[in-house]
Amino acid sequence: MSGTAALAHTFERCRAQKRAALVGYLPAGFPDQPGSERACASLARHGADIVEVGVPYTDPLMDGPVIQQAAHDALAAGFRFAHLLRCVEAVAGAGAVPVVMSYWNPILRYGVERFAADLAAAGGAGIITPDLIPDEAGSWVDAASTQGLAPIFLIAPSSTDERLQQTTDACRGFVYAASTMGVTGARTSVGSGAKQLVSRARSATNLPVCVGLGVSTGGQAAEVATFADGVIVGSALVAALGTDHQGGALGRLTEELAEGVRGA
């Protein structure tokens, strides 16, 4: 099954269960490489349907302090792309669908076609590129298509109707809707523009629309799950792993979030 097909199957299964998908994010290499593989697999075992494996980067423009610090620690410990691919394999082995979240420059340095081939071989389904717009993504879209991977781009409340249409047309797998402007990070409430953004996206595409940036509790996950096809959680999970490297806090939070999307 191709990566794009695996994502489609996951959202179909969630729809059949009358719920949203839970998408969890963790950076590769944090708190260390063996620990990150265990943590990524733990997300799958505790209820995440899709796991975003992040590529640590030295200039993470969209990331808040929690993810920035985790990326710094991973890079300081010697993160390499081989570590990323082992995390992807761990997610797939644990029964969830792995996607990668990466800024564009590390992929460009690694080699676009090489990265697409290696990601597909590891069981990856696609990649989210927060700083790459469809207009400049021709090489990646071609490489992804060749390997059956899903290119996933971001829309935001500030996206014009024209830009939103262009972006959703270029997406495969799902559309990533950033619920609020600004960097990643847990918030006390989800951005008020999230529901409107999902509605706008649905007028432009039949792809599932997943909402990220700000969700940190089961209650917030349940709220977003009432109007989105998927709920994306990142900083709160990274923070949980940071406080307990053995993964107990991570597992408990993942279960809380999974109960939230299922209870909505």
Q: Which domains does the chain have, with CATH numbers?
A: 3-263 (3.20.20.70)
Q: Which two tokens stand for residue 116?
A: 């697409």
pLDDT single digits (tens) 10-55: 999 999 999 999 999 999 999 999 999 999 999 999 999 999 999 9
Q: Are strands 150-152 and 209-212 parallel, antiparallel or unpaired?
A: unpaired
Q: How confident is the model at residue 183 (pLDDT cuts 50, 70, 90)?
A: very low
pLDDT single digits (tens) 100-112: 999 999 999 999 9
pLDDT of 137 strictly over 60: yes
pLDDT of 219 strictly over 50: yes
Q: Where are the alpha helices (DSSP H) in the chain?
A: 3-16, 33-45, 65-76, 81-93, 104-110, 112-121, 138-147, 161-170, 194-202, 218-225, 235-243, 248-263
pLDDT of 186 strictly over 60: no
Is the dihedral angle over the CA atoms 226, 39, 155, 182 positive or is it negative?
positive
Q: How confident is the model at residue 191 (pLDDT cuts 50, 70, 90)?
A: low
Q: How confident is the model at residue 172 (pLDDT cuts 50, 70, 90)?
A: very high
Q: How confident is the model at residue 190 (pLDDT cuts 50, 70, 90)?
A: low
The average pLDDT across 183-197 equals: 63
- Cβ(215)–Cβ(44) under 8 Å? no
pLDDT of 94 strictly over 50: yes
Distance in angstroms (rounded) separating the CA atoms of residues 152 and 30: 24
- Res 182: pLDDT: 42
Q: Which amino acid is at 123?
A: G
Q: For Cα atoms 58, 167, 114, give the angle at the middle one, nearest 5 degrees.
A: 50
Active site residue 52: yes
- Cβ(23)–Cβ(230) under 8 Å? yes
Q: How confident is the model at residue 163 (pLDDT cuts 50, 70, 90)?
A: very high
Q: How confident is the model at residue 187 (pLDDT cuts 50, 70, 90)?
A: very low
Q: Which of 166, 159, 220 lies closest to 192, judged by CA?
A: 220
Burial annotation 229-260 (CB, 10 A radius, 16+ → b, else e): bbbbbbbbbbbbbbeeeebebbbebbebbbeb
CA distances from 49 to 114, 123, 219 (A): 27, 15, 18
Q: Are strands 50-54 and 97-101 parallel, antiparallel or unpaired?
A: parallel
- Res 188: pLDDT: 47
Distance linking the first and last C-alpha atoms of the chain: 30
The average pLDDT across 150-168 equals: 96
pLDDT of 175 strictly over 80: yes
What is the percentage of the chain residues whose pLDDT exceeds 70? Answer: 94
Active site residue 118: no
Beta-carbon contacts of residue 41 (< 8 Å; ≥ 6 apart): 90, 91, 93, 94
The neighbour count for residue 158, using CB atoms within 10 Å, is: 11
Identify the active-site residue in 32, 37, 59, 63.
63
pLDDT single digits (tens) 125-134: 999 999 999 9
Identify the active-site residue in 12, 32, 49, 52.
52
